[in-house]
Structure 1
Amino acid sequence: MRYILLAVIVILSSDLMAQSEELPTVLTSDFAKKIYEIDTNAHAIVLFEHGKTRIDKSESDRSLMVFHHYKTRLRILTKEGYEHANFTIPLYKYGSNFEYISDIKATTYNLIDGKIESTPLKNKDLFLENRSEFVKLNKFTLPDIQIGSIIELEYTLISPDIFNFRSWQFQTAIPKLKSNYRVQIPATYKYNITLKGPLKLSDTKSKVQRECLILNGQKIDCSDITYFMDNIPAFKTEAYMLAPKNYISAINFELEEMAMSRGGIKTFTKKWSDVDRELMTDKNFGGQLKKTNLFEGIFAETVNASSSPYDKAKEIFKWIQQNIKWNNTYGKYTQHGIEDALKAKNGNIADINLTLVTALNTMGIESYPILVSTRENGIPNSLHPVISDFNYVIAGVKIEDKTYLADASDPLLPFGELPLRCINDKGRIIFSKKSSEWIPLVNNQISSTDYSFDGLLDLSGTLKGRLVITYSGMDAVGKRRNILEYGSVAEYEEAIDEKLTNIAIKEINIGNLHDNEKELIENLDVEIKTADHIIGNSFNFNPIFINRISKNPFNLDERNYHVDIGSKRDESHTITIRLPNGSSIKASPKNTNLVLPDKSARYSYKSELRDGTLYVTQSLSLKKAIYDSNEYFQLKELFSRIIQHLKIDHSFNHVPDATL
């Protein structure tokens, strides 16, 4: 990953803007091209994209606002590209005010019988969805989309978020021929500008715009800069990755200093010690940790005074899980406060986990809040504190020199494990008396699924027996959630019976469904049609009849970002099948043992026919939660070889009159 840091103070160059912001008229010749060299498999392509952001006075808002003007023209190339005619523009709340949009203009152009027909977007086709208390979504779909359609979109977004100005993503899910971004920043503001990602700018033009803003009677000059990037490849997403925003080529702005109208400089980029102090004195963060009186007497009956600190922590954690339900809202600050959350039995992430921290400290168990940025929110800035990077808080519980990471918002999580949304590089642990520090966000528990089958293959080609599936770690959490989505075990059984078309489930029993401290165990009596009717001298079947790896999760020619699977993983199959009398192996997959360098991953397969019984063991072990991009092709090749290996069936000779 590449970063370029720039400090915007005053730009002395007076180069003129190299390109007009106006789009040329759509011509019939624009429809002629069917394939673009930048990506011959693209389903849609951006022909041109322009953004312009400035800080100016808003008379209606009676304050300085960020005005962001966006304009684009793109082409739909296939039916799969129709989705790129759907637009969602998020609007965020800052303080008491939401961002808002004005002047949306959108048109679809089609070439019909040699003539260009235009279809504008109508106001009735604009929809505003209230996603949460802090987010609204402006949604619309361009009309009359066909293969070859050209789309134009233009709008202005007005935001009170002067601190972060406006980010610009050069790279998205489809390729772009041209993208440029122009910013006009008053000289009273100094921003840290970060160019992130692997792609280079094709050009940068800058000048000083005189008297661009009049503030309190003072005329202020602006830095006027345009960033250009051409022939931008699409960003290809793949399994086991963090948020794309961590890797795509983009430019970000963060306010560092502001010159005050009455003199002096206000600094926004702070030291962690400043952030620590602000957090611990904030009534919705550190102020909540002082409310230890709320827990006097609560745990007298639920927590055994003679228990170990670890067992006490688990009991308190479980009590919080059961008594405050998460309202599906993130936050590093409490939404209601822990007192009201306890009364209402409902709250946001901070309500729940700051309650956990306070309750643990009340009971004499050392605990601290840890700021987290969730996976979809992006990796937090490690160069200097950016408090807005964090959108979540968990608990760090220190017991005998070991810190356990805990999130009580999910009733399916055992103590000491985090949901996948929190496994995102590192968090910042906020101590009460010393400086905060970074802490890795990891799950030490290996996620594993073990399949064990013991059965009999009869002469009809049907395999009957007992399948036992054992889940632990995050695999157990995910499976519990999957089962509990259904109204009953019977409904779950019916659903998986329909899904597993080659497996008939005769009976199912589930162990430890509601005890998240134990392994989850599924016991299934099954019938599987694995082979053709056994007539004559031979038959074939594959003993890995469930969860056989058949698709490689790694398919890119090049991946510039690491593989993050959330935790170490194990998967194993132990198969025992008694064959019809007179069976012998004619051909079978070779026993194999594949190991990556440094033993970071291993795959093994072994089969043996002994005394009329086929024994098969298979295991895949991923010894790392995160693999670097330079290990990508090794992982890709490993899965490719596994898939090829598992395509081979066992082939048997069968002598009907043989006796044992």
Structure 2
Amino acid sequence: MKKNLFVLTLFMFVFANAQNKFRETPKLTTEDLKSERSSKFTDAPAEVLFKSSHFLIDYNGHMYQKVSRRVKVYNKDNAAEYLSHEIALYDNKRDPPETLSELKAFTYNYENGDIVPTKIPRDERYKSKEDKNYTVTKFTFPNVKNGSVVEYSYIIKTPFLGSTPKILIEEAIPVRYSEFVLDTPTILAYTINYSGTLSPSQRIVEEKPMFGKPYQTYRFAFENIAPFQNEKYVLNNTNYRTGLMAELNSSMIDNKFTSYAISWSDIRKRLYEHSNFGLELKKLNSVKDVLPSEIKTIPVALERADAILKFVQKDFTWNGERSVFTDRGIKNLLSAKVGNSAEINLLLTQLLQDAGLKAEPVVLATVDQGTLLSYAPSISKLNYVIAAVYVNGKNHLLDATQKQSEIDMISPDALNYSGFIMTPKEAVEINMRYPYRSKTILSVDAIMNPDGTFGGNFKDRDTKLYAMMVNSRYNSDKAGFASSYKDTYKFPITNLKQGVQGNNDFETSFDFTSDSFVDAIGSKLVFNPLLFLYSQNHNFDQKEPRKAPLEFYSAYDRTKKVTITIPDNFEFQNVPKSKKFRTDDNALQYSYVVTQNGNKLTVETTVSIDDSVYPKEYYPAFVQIFNNITKQEAQVVTVVKK
């Protein structure tokens, strides 16, 4: 924004006057402090009494975010996330950094008929450097008891006017009142992006003078909000919480109109004009001698693309930073061999182009950023880049940040419904969901001893996308990954082995012994033939109506195969029968297959999910199928001496 158009003075007075136009922070009452539970949600461990996010933009190119929040604590042991707070400030080392001011935080208790405040001392606020761009101020409320009220307020000043943070209205606890307010000079036009299902109790959008200048005001207020319940099988529950954010779409300064993001084509233009995106892509001369000639001359296009992907995976390493823009540039990446997601995958795009392939960058928002919407263009949500190569009439996705990725198997964090291929001429929406099927195969080869104890071997194998996901968890914490198996299975485990196999599957295996699988009833030995792979419950147990679709990273098959060998002088009785069931459209299928060969019994079950996303209306079908699965797998077998 052009500087020195108009300078706001006496800022705190101005902000107070602006706030007075709306609802002021209510006075803390003895009734608030004396209350022992929420009047509407009696089991809630805490309740938000008031929260406000008020954004004010001045004519000097600054945005001020005033945050106010007051929370009543009913059960402090179950309300830990509300007893501390973190404030992140951004500094890109080019623009003026974000700054924090007017931080106030108190704990209030009701003692001897009086409201007694406890202020957080300045020396108990901690500032930490999270990475090169973010500094975080942290504090914890002191003297919190059941019945306390905790409250904080502060102001963040930022030069970044492109968008506001997304303000979530719904929380895990009830909220009595929440508001989002934006006051902006009329020379700036913002789009209010709205998510969720709640309707505001008050909504004001109006133009009026403020501080002697024309302003546009947006205000959304919500009251008596129920706790938001996270649902299982959702990649990012925040996508379905009510929330608001404002994004700059145009400006009119000195009678010059500038459009920033009216369409995805506008965003494409901005990206291609950006020195850390489009101008980097144009530097093809810098990569002409990077690829070995034997890769460039591979005759089959998709095999050539695969070889280039493997080359980048081998020679370059992702530093873990996500961005749609390069940081130090591709030239630096070529020498340092380490870079952010944009540098790695823009280089991949250039190398594909250099090898004669039709390749373009794909920009997207990772799962934790929220879903991109075709009707709500947003450059501020973009934080990741991959490559698309067009072969035989089809776009294939490639992501070299992941060492184990393959063509069309990109980082799970990028599987976020839609991305946009940004060509030099157009922006094209593309489906980001994983197109293939992954498998999990759990196999047990067990021998029953005459005394009813068992010994054997277990293998847990994952394929395709699941293998990459499991390997990522394994590499991030190998000791913790191993412990998770020992904590899950409460019997002696030996010879534990874990790792990627030659075909890129990931496998965990171990030997086991146990004396807890069998119940002896007289002379009979009774046990579940699935042994420790049997589960009494399943995760499709939601009682409330489903709000979100069912989201899986991949269509999948989950197979459990248990083979049990008993001594020659024993025999099986009451062997369960095979059974299959499915939904009418075959979207969800299950089989329970029993095979007996003398003293050897094999039970193999398979759950098949044919898609990675299902509408919420499918949830009752999943409940019904998995109820039947649990009953089917509860069957037992009897072993007796001949």
Q: TM-score, normalised by structure 2?
A: 0.89
Let me know the Cα RMSD of the aligned residues: 2.9
Q: Aligned with 1:117: secondary structure?
A: strand
Question: 1:301–1:470: structure 2 CA closer, same or farther, 3 Å change rule?
Answer: farther
2:9 corresponding residue in structure 1: none
Question: 1:484–1:196: structure 2 CA closer, same or farther, 3 Å change rule?
Answer: closer
2:281 corresponding residue in structure 1: 289
Query: How far apart, in 2, do the equivalents of 1:113 and 1:591 lie?
Result: 71
2:33 corresponding residue in structure 1: 31
2:62 corresponding residue in structure 1: 65
Query: How far apart, in 1, do the equivalents of 2:174 and 2:601 lie?
Result: 52
Per-residue deviation, residues 10-45 of structure 1 (Å, max 9, x unmatched): xxxxxx978640321331x32343332432321211
Per-residue deviation, residues 438-472 of structure 1 (Å, max 9, x unmatched): 00002223121112333311123222233343321
1:243 corresponding residue in structure 2: 236
Q: Higher mean Cα deviation, 439-448 or 130-139?
A: 130-139
Structure 1 residue 255, shift from structure 2 partner: 2.1
Per-residue deviation, residues 180-228 of structure 1 (Å, max 9, x unmatched): 3333232323222233311111123566543x24xxxxx4122345322
| Aligned-partner residue type, residue 293 of structure 1 | N
1:370-519, aligned counterparts within 5 Å? 370-432=362-424, 434-485=425-476, 495=483, 498-507=486-495, 512-513=500-501, 515=502, 518-519=504-505
Structure 1 residue 553, shift from structure 2 partner: 5.2
Preserved CA contact (<8 Å) 1:396 1:404? yes
| Aligned-partner residue type, residue 542 of structure 1 | N
Query: How far apart, in 2, do the equivalents of 1:276 and 1:205 lie?
Result: 33
Query: How far apart, in 2, do the equivalents of 1:408 and 1:123 lie?
Result: 45
Q: Higher mean Cα deviation, 397-406 or 529-538?
A: 529-538
1:9 corresponding residue in structure 2: none
2:621 corresponding residue in structure 1: 634
1:263-282, aligned counterparts within 5 Å? 263-282=255-274
Question: 1:183–1:340: structure 2 CA closer, same or farther, 3 Å change rule?
Answer: closer
What percent of counterpart residues are identical? Answer: 23
Per-residue deviation, residues 302-338 of structure 1 (Å, max 9, x unmatched): 6373452222222211111121111111111111211
Preserved CA contact (<8 Å) 2:162 2:380? no
Question: 1:409–1:594: structure 2 CA closer, same or farther, 3 Å change rule?
Answer: same
1:258 to 251, 258, 282: 251
Structure 1 residue 547, shift from structure 2 partner: 4.9
1:539 corresponding residue in structure 2: 525
| Aligned-partner residue type, residue 66 of structure 1 | M
1:13 corresponding residue in structure 2: none
1:603 corresponding residue in structure 2: 590
| Aligned-partner residue type, residue 373 of structure 1 | A
Question: 1:134–1:240: structure 2 CA closer, same or farther, 3 Å change rule?
Answer: farther
2:86 to 85, 88, 93: 88
Per-residue deviation, residues 241-263 of structure 1 (Å, max 9, x unmatched): 24344221122222233221x32
Query: Is 1:43 aligned to 2:30, yes or no?
Result: no
Question: 1:596–1:42: structure 2 CA closer, same or farther, 3 Å change rule?
Answer: farther
Preserved CA contact (<8 Å) 1:552 1:640? no
Q: Higher mean Cα deviation, 44-53 or 607-616?
A: 607-616
Query: Is 1:578 aligned to 2:565, yes or no?
Result: yes
Preserved CA contact (<8 Å) 2:58 2:184? no
Question: 1:277–1:125: structure 2 CA closer, same or farther, 3 Å change rule?
Answer: same
Query: How far apart, in 1, do the equivalents of 2:223 and 2:186 lie?
Result: 29
1:200 corresponding residue in structure 2: 199
Preserved CA contact (<8 Å) 1:269 1:384? no
Query: How far apart, in 1, do the equivalents of 2:461 and 2:95 lie?
Result: 49
1:180 corresponding residue in structure 2: 179
Structure 1 residue 406, shift from structure 2 partner: 1.0
Q: Aligned with 1:478: secondary structure?
A: helix
Q: Aligned with 1:389: secondary structure?
A: coil
Query: Is 1:234 aligned to 2:227, yes or no?
Result: yes
| Aligned-partner residue type, residue 71 of structure 2 | L
| Aligned-partner residue type, residue 65 of structure 1 | H
Preserved CA contact (<8 Å) 2:295 2:304? yes
Query: How far apart, in 1, do the equivalents of 2:515 and 2:406 lie?
Result: 38
Query: How far apart, in 2, do the equivalents of 1:194 and 1:511 lie?
Result: 44
Per-residue deviation, residues 76-105 of structure 1 (Å, max 9, x unmatched): 122111321121223234652332221111
Query: How far apart, in 2, do the equivalents of 1:544 and 1:30 lie?
Result: 55
2:305 corresponding residue in structure 1: 313
Query: How far apart, in 1, do the equivalents of 2:229 and 2:314 lie?
Result: 41
| Aligned-partner residue type, residue 537 of structure 1 | S
| Aligned-partner residue type, residue 54 of structure 1 | L
1:138 corresponding residue in structure 2: 137
Aligned length: 621
| Aligned-partner residue type, residue 226 of structure 1 | R
Q: Aligned with 1:192: secondary structure?
A: strand
Structure 1 residue 426, shift from structure 2 partner: 0.6
Instruction: Return 5+ residue gaps in structure 1 as ranges.
Output: 1-15, 58-62, 214-218
Preserved CA contact (<8 Å) 1:585 1:652? yes
Structure 1 residue 484, shift from structure 2 partner: 3.9
Structure 1 residue 384, shift from structure 2 partner: 4.8
Query: Is 1:526 aligned to 2:512, yes or no?
Result: yes
Query: How far apart, in 2, do the equivalents of 1:472 and 1:598 lie?
Result: 26
Q: Aligned with 1:162: secondary structure?
A: coil
Query: How far apart, in 2, do the equivalents of 1:181 and 1:133 lie?
Result: 30
Structure 1 residue 492, shift from structure 2 partner: 8.7
Structure 1 residue 343, shift from structure 2 partner: 0.5
Preserved CA contact (<8 Å) 1:102 1:155? yes
Preserved CA contact (<8 Å) 1:381 1:389? no
1:343 corresponding residue in structure 2: 335
| Aligned-partner residue type, residue 92 of structure 1 | Y
Question: 1:132–1:194: structure 2 CA closer, same or farther, 3 Å change rule?
Answer: same
Question: 1:546–1:410: structure 2 CA closer, same or farther, 3 Å change rule?
Answer: farther
Query: How far apart, in 2, do the equivalents of 1:417 and 1:20 lie?
Result: 50
Question: 1:257–1:276: structure 2 CA closer, same or farther, 3 Å change rule?
Answer: closer
Per-residue deviation, residues 398-435 of structure 1 (Å, max 9, x unmatched): 22222211110111223331111000011100123x32
Preserved CA contact (<8 Å) 1:183 1:226? yes
| Aligned-partner residue type, residue 32 of structure 2 | D
Preserved CA contact (<8 Å) 1:206 1:224? yes
1:3 corresponding residue in structure 2: none
Q: Higher mean Cα deviation, 604-613 or 172-181?
A: 604-613
Query: How far apart, in 2, do the equivalents of 1:207 and 1:350 lie?
Result: 40
Question: 1:511–1:128: structure 2 CA closer, same or farther, 3 Å change rule?
Answer: closer
Question: 1:280–1:188: structure 2 CA closer, same or farther, 3 Å change rule?
Answer: closer
Query: How far apart, in 1, do the equivalents of 2:275 and 2:357 lie?
Result: 23
Preserved CA contact (<8 Å) 2:84 2:139? yes
| Aligned-partner residue type, residue 108 of structure 1 | T
2:554 corresponding residue in structure 1: 567
Query: Is 1:22 aligned to 2:16, yes or no?
Result: no
1:143-154, aligned counterparts within 5 Å? 143-154=142-153
Query: How far apart, in 2, do the equivalents of 1:180 and 1:624 lie?
Result: 39
Preserved CA contact (<8 Å) 1:176 1:231? yes
Q: Higher mean Cα deviation, 494-503 or 552-561?
A: 494-503
Per-residue deviation, residues 586-632 of structure 1 (Å, max 9, x unmatched): 65666443323422112222335442322211111111101112222
